[in-house]
Chain A
Amino acid sequence: MSHKAEKKMIRLTIDGQEVEIEAGLPIIAAAEKLGIKIPTMCYLKKVSMTGACRVCLVSVEGVDASVTACNTIAVDGIRVTTSTPDLERQRRDMIRLMLINHPLDCTVCDAAGECDLQDICFNHHILDQPFKAEDVAMPKIRNWPLIENVPARCILCEKCVKVGHELTGIGDFYVNEFGDKAYIERHKGQNTIDPYIEGNAVAVCPVGAMISKPFRHKARSWTLDKVPSLGFAGGSLEQVELNVKNGQLYRITSEDEITINNGLLSFDSSFGYGFVNSSKRLGTPLVDGAETDWDTALNAVDQKARSLGGDAVAGLTSARLTLEENYMFQKLFRVGYSSNNIDSAACFGVRAASETLRAVLGLSGSSAPATDIAKADAILVFGSDITSEQPQINYQIQRALRCNDAYLCVANMRSVRIGSLANLRLNYAPGTEVALIAAITKLIVEQGLVDSAFVQKFVKNDADIEKSVSGIDAEKIAAEAGVDFALLQEIAQKFGAAQRVAVVFGADVTGAATVADIVAALANFSIVSGALRGDGGGVFMVDERPNTQGLLDAGVNPHQLPGGLDYVSKSADAAAIWGCASLPQNGRDAVQILEGIETGDVKFLYLAGVNPLITYPESQRWRAALKKLEFLVVQDILESELTALANVVLPAASFAEKTGTYIACDNTAGLLQQALKPFASARADGDIITALLGVATGKKCNADDVAVRNELNTLSGLFASTEISGAKYLTPGSKVVYAPAPSALEFSEFKYTKAVAGLTLIVGKMHAHTGVTSTYASGALEIAPQGYVEISSEDAQRAGVSEGETLKVKSTVGSLSAPVRISPYVSAGILFAPYHFADINAMQVVPIGHQSVQVEISKG
C-alpha cells in the first residue's frame, strides 16, 4: 500500500554537474550525492524537512528568488547554482540575523568546538553585525530534569522537536511563543510518574541550547577521545562513541547514517552512564574484607572451589557479561570445578520463552534482524514496555509507523508509553493472555486471512489448525477478559491482511508464570499472521539487558552447552574440545542452587555481575541463603550489600573498559571496544574467569576474544562467519540467519488460564534505570531517585493512601513498603513497582516463576 514503491529517478544539474536521484528528495540531497556541500544549520536528514535557518539558499534557473536547498524538492531537469555573490551575501546576512543577541559565551558554552554556528560564522567570515534588536530571549530554563535549555543560544532549528516526535516517539518539545520570543518548551501535563527526557535533543542540537546537565561544564569537546563501541543497554543495536579523557567516561554520543541506530541514543547512553565513574567502583580485590592482590584473591577462590568441588559449588552470571565471558564462565565451572551448577536470571522465564520458540518454531531467539521491524506493516507489541525495555527496538517500531504506515497494536496490562501511539490498545487482565491470543488467532483463521501456501509448506501439523481453533469461542473470551469483541476482530483483520507482521514481546511475557503457554500462543499467532515469512517483520523476544541472547548462546545453564546444544547428548563433544575426560553430570539451575544453599548442599557461590538480593525473585530468601554460604565470591563493578557479604570480592571492568561480543535480542552481534583502562586494579570479567580456569587446570588459558569465539564456534557452530567486519563499529561475525525449513513449524494447542482475581503487582523495569548499576548513576537518579509503587486512584482511595504516603504490599512470599505514586497509567487492580531499587526491594514480594503477583495492600 505504501506509495513509496512508485519512486522513480530524476535528473538535475547542480553547479554544472548532472546528478540522478530518487524523486521526492530535496536539492540538498542531490548536492550531497555530488559531494557539493551547501551550508546549513537546520537540515537533519533523518527527520522531516524543516527549512528554518534559510542559510542553504541556492538559485534555480527560471525561478525569480533564491530557494532553500533543504526543503525544496528536486524535480526533473532543474538547473541549480549553489554559490553566487548574491547568494553568498544573502547567506551571510542570514547568519548575521541568527547572531543578533546571540550570547558571546562560547567560553563557557558546552557546544564550543562542535557548534555549527561557530563553524558557519568562521567559514563565512562574519566579522560585523549591522542589525540590532531588543533582546527578548527567554531566560535559561534550568528546572527541567537532565537538560538545561538556553533559549538565547537557540536558532530554532526544531531538530530537538522533531527527533523526539518523529524518530523516538518521545515527543517532549514544541515551539512556544511568537516572533523573536519563540523558544523550545516542554509539553505540560507530561507523565510525572516516569518523565521521559529526550536525550537525543542534546545530541541533535547544532548549538549550545540543549545542554546535558550531567555533561555540563565537564569537558571541552575537542579534548575528548571518541572510541566506537556499543551502548551498555542497547548493546549491538546501539553503536555509540564513548567520549573519554583521563580515565573517565564523560558522555556517550552516536553518529547518523553509519550506525545501525542512525545516531539515536537510549536514555541510558544519554544520561545513565555515570556509574562508570562512580566513587563506589571496586578497584582492589578483597579477601574477607581486606584489600589484597589478584593472585591471593584468585587462589582463595580456586582453593575453595576445587576443595569443595562438584555439587557444592555453583555460579550465577549475567547478561551484562559478554558472550566470550559467559562462555568462559560455564567452562570454568564445568572443566575447572567439575560443577554443572550454573545459571543466570534467564532461569526466571527468558530461557523458557526461548526454548518454547525453539521447540515450536525452530528459533534461537528472534527470527529476524531488528531492522526488519521497520519494514513491517502491522506490529503487535505484547507484554512489553518497549520504550523502557529496549529503546532501540522502539526506534525501529517508530520507523515502521512513520515511514511504512504500520498498524500498531499494543497489548499490555498497563498503559505503557508506546500505547499512546497505537492504533489499538488491548489492556488485558493478568492471566487472560493466552485466551486473547487464541481468540485473535481463531478470528484470523475464521476470516480466511491465513497465508495457506506458507502454512501448508512450513507447518507440519497445518491440517490441525482449523480443528484446533474451532472450539475457541472468541466472543466469550472477549467478554470474560472485559475486551470489546470488535477490537479483537479489528486486530485479526489487520494482522491477517498485513503483508509483513512483526510480533514483539517482552518482560511481562518472559516473566509470566505461564511464559511457555503465552509464547506458544504468540508462536501460533505468528504462524497464522505470516510473521515468519521472512520478508520483513518477524518474531522478536526482547530483554532489557544488552547480551541476553549472548548469555543464552553461551550455554550457561545446566541443560545446555554453548549454541543451545543439549548438555547430556553433546557433553562428550564438549569434553573433547575442552581437553577433559568428561563433564559433570546433572546440575542445578538458579532455583535449585537456591534450594541447595538452603539445604546446605551448595556451599560455594560465585556471582558474576549479578545481585540476587535485588534482581532475583524472592530476594529475601536469597539474602538469607547467601548468609548461609560457606564461601561467597562476588565479581562486580560496584560496592553493594552483596560485596559486604562476600568472602572474596573480584573488582571487574565496566563495559567501557573491556572488549567482547554482545548479541542483541535480534541475534545481531557487535563488538565492545575498550575505551578506558579498567578502573584501578579492576580486570575484565573475562580476564578474571580465564585466570581462574588457568589456576584450576594448571594450563595457561587464552583469554583472547577471537580465540574464545573460535573455540565456541568449533563446538556450537553458532556463527555462520567469525570474520570481524565494519569500518568503525565492529561486528565479530554473524549468527546463522533463521529461515524455517519445510514442515518445521508446529501449531500447538492453546493452553488457557483464567483471569487472575484480586490485586496484581507487576514488578519491572522503569525507563531511566537498568538493572542495579544505574542506581549508581546520577542522571538516572535524577529521574527516579528511589523505589515507588504506582497505584490507580481507585485502589489508592480504597487503601486510604495519598500521593507519597507509604503503602505496604504483601504477597505470599514477602512484603514491601514503598511511597505511592497515584498514576493514570495503571488501572484499578494493577500495581507497578520498579525492581532496581535496594530501598524497596520489590523483588522480595515476587515468587519465583512469576513477575506479577497477587498482593494485599494497606497503608503503611
Chain B
Amino acid sequence: MSEIVFSSWGRKIIDNRQGGSTDLASLKLKIPTEYLCKGNVAAFMGWDGFVILDPKTDVVAMAAEFMKRVQEKHCCGKCTPGKKGTRVMQDTLARIISGKGQERDLEILDSLTDLMQDCKCTLCMTAAIPIQDSVRYFRETYLEYLAGKRTPSYTGKYIDKVTAPCMDTCPAHIDIPAYIEEIKNYRFDESLGKIRERMPIPAVCGRVCPHPCETACRRALIDEPISIMVMKRVASDHEWLHHREPPMQPKPSTGKKVIVVGAGPAGLTTAYYLALEGHSVKIIEMLSEPGGTVAVGIPDYRMPRPLLQREAQIIQDLGVEIEYGVKLGRDVSLRELKEQYDAVFLGTGAFKSKPMGVEGEDAGYEGFSSGGINYLRAVALGQGMKTPKRIVVVGGGNTAIDCVRVALREGAEEAILVYRRSRNEMPAEPYEVDDAEEENVRFEFLVNPTRLVTKDNKITGVEVIKMELGEADESGRRRPQPVKGSEYVIECDMVIPAIGQDPDLSYLEDGDYGIKQTRWSSIVTNNGTMMTDNAGVFAGGDCEYGAMTVVLAVGHGKRAASVMHRYLMDGKAMLDDEEAMEDIMNRLGVFDPDEKIPAVGGLKREHQPKIAGAERAKNYEEIELAMPESQAVVEAERCLRCYRVGMVALD
C-alpha cells in the first residue's frame, strides 16, 4: 500500500478516491507502510491533516477516536478551548458515530476548530485540524452516519503519540515543552523530574549538548530559538545548589544481572534506567573515573568534573556498582561477561584518533601527539603530559578547539589551530570558536598539513599547504582543494591531530560473537532495539554510531535500557508502541521550517552570563555561569509549547 488514497496534509489535498494514484514517496510527510511486525499502516491522522492509504479506512470513526484520545489522554486542561473544546468535539463525534448526530453538529466541529486556534498551546489547536478536514472532505461519510446508514466497521488498531518538533529532534526525546513549562512556573524540581524521565545526566547535557533541538524550535521561526539546553542546566543546578537529594527510588529487585561496559554517557544512562527497573547493574570502566569522553575529552572549563561525578554518584546511589580500571578485551572477555550476566551493554565509545595521512605520522617523533582525544585525556587525568611553548592542532571540530584551549591553560605560549576549510565550515560550535579566539588562539584556515618537520627525532614544525574551496561535497560543505606549490612551514614544538575518532572494537576479536560492524568500525544493532545480532548483547553511543554527541549516547542508553528490560523480563527484544511511534514520528519529520506561525515575535533569547576575556584561559574555572532562575523563567515564557498528536491506524 504505497499509494495515497487521500491526503489533506498541510491543506494540500490529494484525493484519489475516485481513481488516480499518487505515490506515497511523493509526500513531504514520510509515512511508513508497516508498523513493527503488527500490521500495515492504513492511515495517519495528525497535527496537519490526515493521510489515508487503505481505502477501507473509516475516517469519521478515526476522527472520533483521535479526539477521544486527545481529550482524555493528552489535553492538559489548562486552557478553556483545549479543556472544553476538545470535550465538545469528542462528544459530538461520539454522538455522530453512534447514529445520534445532527447536521448542525458538523457546523459545531467546523467552528470549534477555528476557535481552537486560540488555544494556549498547539496540542488541541492542531488536533482539531484533521477533524475539520474530515468534515470538509468526508462530508458524505458524516451524512451517512447522521442518516443512520452507517456504523463503524473498522476493527484495526490505533496507536497515538504526543510529540513536538524539539522533543522529536532531541536524540533522547526529552519532553522539552514540559520541562520548559515547569521552569516557567518556577517548579525547578519538577522540571528536573521531567528531564530525568529521559536523561540522567542533565548537568552534562545542560552544558555541553550541541542541542539539535534548538534547530527545530518553532520559536526560531518568529525570532530566536528557546535556550533549551540552558534551561536544562537551570533545572539541574537548582537541585545541586539547594543540596537536595534526588527523589528517584528503584523498583524492587528483579534478580537479573546486567553488565555495562563503559561509564560514559551511554553506559551511565543504560545503568540508570535498568537500576530504576530493579535490575542489578555493574559497570566496568577502563579509566579511573566516570564519564568517559565527557570526563576526559571535555575540559573542566566547559564541563566541571565534580558535577559529572555527582551525576555518576546519583546513579551509583540507585545501586549501580562501578569498577574502575577494567578494560574489555584486556582484563575480561566478552565471552566471560556473557556467561556471568543476563545481558551485556557495550558503551565503549570512540577514542581511537583518526590518522591525518601525512608523512612521518607513525614515526614516533617527540612532540607528535597520538591524537587530540589522547592529549585531552592525559591532561585531564594528570598523566604528566607536558605542553610545550608552541603547539599546532589540526582539525575543525570541538576536540580540536578543546585541544588549543587546554594547551593555553597548560602553559603553551601560542596555540595554533590549522583547518583545511574556512571558519564557516567548522563542525565545532560557533560559540566555541569565538571563545577560543577570545582566548588568543591563532587560527590558520584553508591550510592542510603535508609533512612533519623534525630535527633529531623531534618536532620543530609542520609543513602545510594552502587550500581553496571547490564544489560542495555530500555533506553540503565545499570541498577544499590544495593550491599547488603553496606549502609553507609553521614552526612549533608539538603537533596534535584532532580530526576525528573511531571506535576501538578489538575486544570483539577474541571470539566469534556474530556481531556485525560497519565499515567505519562501529557496531551494528537492529531496528532501533540497540541489540546486536548476538542475543543479549546490546550496544549504544559512539561505539555504535561512530563519534557523535553525548545526547545521542543518552538516547541510545535509554532505548537500550528499555528494550533490555523487556528482554530480561520476557526474553523478547522488542520496541513498545511508544518507542515504535517515536521512531515513526522521527521519520515523518515533525518540524516544518516553512511553517508560518501566527504569534508575536521580536523577543531575543536570554543568555547566561559568562566570564569574558583572555584572562580566563589561565585556569579551568567554568566559563559559562549559571543563568539566574528569574531570567530562566523569562526565557521559558517564550516557549510556544509546540505539542502535537499523531495517530496511526493499522489495518
Give the B-binding residues of A (Cβ under 8 A).
Answer: 1-4, 24, 48-55, 57, 60, 63-68, 71-73, 75-76, 78, 90, 93-94, 97-98, 100, 130-134, 136, 155-156, 158, 162, 165-166, 175, 177-182, 402-405, 421-425, 487
Q: Which residues of A contact B91 (CB under 8 A)?
A: 132-134
Contact of A133 among B84, B603, B628 (CB under 8 A): B84
Q: How far is the CA of A90 from the CA of B186 in the complex (A)?
A: 31
In contact, A132 and B600 (Cβ under 8 angstroms)? no
If the complex has contacts A64-B598, A94-B81, A133-B87, are A424 and B243 also in contact, measured as CB distance less than 8 A? yes
Q: Which residues of A contact B241 (CB under 8 A)?
A: 423
Q: How far is the CA of A98 from the CA of B79 in the complex (A)?
A: 10
Contact with A along B89-125 (1 / 0, CB 8 A): 0110000000000000000100110010111100000
Number of interface residues of B (CB under 8 A): 52
Identify whether the interface residues of A are mostly helix, strand, loop, or mixed: loop
Residue from the set B80, B118, B120, B633 with the largest chain A CB neighbour count within 10 Å? B80
Q: Which residues of B contact A487 (CB under 8 A)?
A: 243
B364 at the interface (CB under 8 A from A): no
B310 at the interface (CB under 8 A from A): no
Q: Which residues of A contact B76 (CB under 8 A)?
A: 175, 178, 182
B39 at the interface (CB under 8 A from A): no
Closest Cβ–Cβ distance, residue B52 to chain A (whole Å): 27
Contact of A71 among B71, B598, B631, B637 (CB under 8 A): B637
Q: How far is the CA of A98 from the CA of B85 in the complex (A)?
A: 9
In contact, A155 and B602 (Cβ under 8 angstroms)? no
Contact of B77 among A130, A165, A180 (CB under 8 A): A180
Q: How far is the CA of A404 from the CA of B633 in the complex (A)?
A: 12
Residue from the set A24, A94, A162 with the largest chain B CB neighbour count within 10 Å? A94
Contact of B80 among A24, A75, A97, A136 (CB under 8 A): A97
Closest Cβ–Cβ distance, residue A859 to chain B (whole Å): 33
Closest Cβ–Cβ distance, residue B369 to chain A (whole Å): 37
Residue of A whose beta carbon sits closest to that of B119? A54
If the complex has contacts A48-B185, A57-B118, A130-B108, are A180 and B87 also in contact, measured as CB distance less than 8 A? yes
Contact of A72 among B72, B80, B111, B600 (CB under 8 A): B600
Q: Which residues of A contact B71 (CB under 8 A)?
A: 178-180
Q: How far is the CA of A30 from the CA of B70 in the complex (A)?
A: 35
Q: Which residues of B contact A49 (CB under 8 A)?
A: 184, 637
Closest Cβ–Cβ distance, residue A66 to chain B (whole Å): 6
B251 at the interface (CB under 8 A from A): no
If the complex has contacts A3-B606, A175-B77, are A90 and B118 also in contact, measured as CB distance less than 8 A? yes
In contact, A75 and B185 (Cβ under 8 angstroms)? no
Closest Cβ–Cβ distance, residue A375 to chain B (whole Å): 13
In contact, A97 and B81 (Cβ under 8 angstroms)? yes
Residue of A whose beta carbon sits closest to that of B68? A179
If the complex has contacts A175-B78, A422-B242, are A51 and B120 also in contact, measured as CB distance less than 8 A? yes
Closest Cβ–Cβ distance, residue B405 to chain A (whole Å): 26
Q: Which 9 A-B pairs have the closest CB atoms?
A: A182-B77, A75-B602, A65-B598, A64-B598, A180-B87, A97-B84, A179-B71, A405-B628, A179-B75
In contact, A166 and B630 (Cβ under 8 angstroms)? no
Closest Cβ–Cβ distance, residue A6 to chain B (whole Å): 10
Q: Which residues of B contact A180 (CB under 8 A)?
A: 71, 75, 77, 83-84, 86-87
Q: Which residues of A contact B600 (CB under 8 A)?
A: 60, 63, 67, 72-73, 75, 78
Q: How far is the CA of A404 from the CA of B111 in the complex (A)?
A: 45
If the complex has contacts A24-B634, A156-B78, A165-B186, are A97 and B603 also in contact, measured as CB distance less than 8 A? no
In contact, A405 and B629 (Cβ under 8 angstroms)? yes
Residue of A whose beta carbon sits closest to that of B94? A134
B73 at the interface (CB under 8 A from A): yes
Q: Which residues of B contact A177 (CB under 8 A)?
A: 77
Q: Which residues of A contact B599 (CB under 8 A)?
A: 63, 65, 67, 72
Contact with A along B47-77 (1 / 0, CB 8 A): 0000000000000000000000011111111
Q: Which residues of B contact A60 (CB under 8 A)?
A: 600
Q: How far is the CA of A512 from the CA of B584 in the complex (A)?
A: 66
New A-B pairs, 4, CB < 8 Å, besides A179-B72, A421-B242 = A136-B87, A165-B186, A178-B76, A179-B75
Q: How far is the CA of A134 from the CA of B601 in the complex (A)?
A: 38
Residue of B whose beta carbon sits closest to that of A408? B242
B330 at the interface (CB under 8 A from A): no
Q: Which residues of A contact B633 (CB under 8 A)?
A: 48
Contact with A along B583-616 (1 / 0, CB 8 A): 0000000000000101111110010010000000
- Which B618-633 residues sit within 8 Å CB-CB of chain A? 628-631, 633
Q: How far is the CA of A48 from the CA of B184 in the complex (A)?
A: 8
B352 at the interface (CB under 8 A from A): no
Q: Which residues of A contact B87 (CB under 8 A)?
A: 100, 133-134, 136, 179-180
In contact, B630 and A402 (Cβ under 8 angstroms)? yes
Closest Cβ–Cβ distance, residue A383 to chain B (whole Å): 20
In contact, A178 and B598 (Cβ under 8 angstroms)? no
Q: Which residues of A contact B242 (CB under 8 A)?
A: 421-424
Closest Cβ–Cβ distance, residue B180 to chain A (whole Å): 13
In contact, B80 and A178 (Cβ under 8 angstroms)? no
Closest Cβ–Cβ distance, residue B130 to chain A (whole Å): 18
In contact, B185 and A64 (Cβ under 8 angstroms)? no
If the complex has contacts A52-B120, A134-B91, are A165 and B185 also in contact, measured as CB distance less than 8 A? yes
Residue of A whose beta carbon sits closest to that of B75? A179
In contact, A94 and B77 (Cβ under 8 angstroms)? no
B196 at the interface (CB under 8 A from A): no
Q: Which residues of A contact B603 (CB under 8 A)?
A: 73, 75
Closest Cβ–Cβ distance, residue A176 to chain B (whole Å): 9
Residue of B whose beta carbon sits closest to that of A76? B602
- Which B348-371 residues sit within 8 Å CB-CB of chain A? none
In contact, B77 and A98 (Cβ under 8 angstroms)? no
Closest Cβ–Cβ distance, residue B541 to chain A (whole Å): 34
Contact of A3 among B78, B596, B630 (CB under 8 A): B630
Residue of B whose beta carbon sits closest to that of A102? B84
Contact of B243 among A71, A133, A423 (CB under 8 A): A423
Residue from the set A65, A67, A133 with the largest chain B CB neighbour count within 10 Å? A133
Q: Which residues of B contact A54 (CB under 8 A)?
A: 79-81, 118-120
If the complex has contacts A65-B117, A405-B630, are A75 and B77 also in contact, measured as CB distance less than 8 A? no
Q: Which residues of B contact A53 (CB under 8 A)?
A: 79-80
Residue from the set B75, B83, B85, B184 with the largest chain A CB neighbour count within 10 Å? B83
Q: Which residues of A contact B112 (CB under 8 A)?
A: 131
B208 at the interface (CB under 8 A from A): no
Q: Which residues of B contact A93 (CB under 8 A)?
A: 111, 115
If the complex has contacts A51-B79, A54-B120, A405-B628, are A178 and B74 also in contact, measured as CB distance less than 8 A? yes
If the complex has contacts A1-B628, A54-B118, A422-B242, are A64 and B83 also in contact, measured as CB distance less than 8 A? no
Q: How far is the CA of A798 from the CA of B422 in the complex (A)?
A: 74
B426 at the interface (CB under 8 A from A): no
Q: Which residues of B contact A423 (CB under 8 A)?
A: 241-243
Residue of B whose beta carbon sits closest to that of A91? B118
B479 at the interface (CB under 8 A from A): no
In contact, A178 and B77 (Cβ under 8 angstroms)? yes
B580 at the interface (CB under 8 A from A): no
Closest Cβ–Cβ distance, residue A717 to chain B (whole Å): 41
B88 at the interface (CB under 8 A from A): yes
If the complex has contacts A1-B628, A3-B606, A75-B601, are A97 and B86 also in contact, measured as CB distance less than 8 A? no
Q: Which residues of A contact B117 (CB under 8 A)?
A: 65
Q: Which residues of B contact A72 (CB under 8 A)?
A: 599-600
Contact of B186 among A24, A48, A100, A136 (CB under 8 A): A48
Q: Which residues of B contact A405 (CB under 8 A)?
A: 628-630
Closest Cβ–Cβ distance, residue B602 to chain A (whole Å): 4
Residue from the set A64, A75, A165, A179 with the largest chain B CB neighbour count within 10 Å? A179
B187 at the interface (CB under 8 A from A): yes
In contact, B80 and A52 (Cβ under 8 angstroms)? yes
In contact, B185 and A52 (Cβ under 8 angstroms)? no
In contact, A158 and B78 (Cβ under 8 angstroms)? yes
Q: Which residues of B contact A71 (CB under 8 A)?
A: 637
Residue of B whose beta carbon sits closest to that of A425? B243
- Can you list 25 A-B pairs, Cβ within 8 angstroms, ordered by A? A2-B628, A2-B631, A3-B630, A48-B184, A51-B79, A54-B79, A54-B80, A54-B120, A60-B600, A71-B637, A72-B599, A73-B638, A75-B603, A94-B118, A132-B91, A133-B87, A133-B88, A165-B186, A178-B77, A180-B84, A182-B83, A404-B630, A405-B628, A421-B242, A422-B242
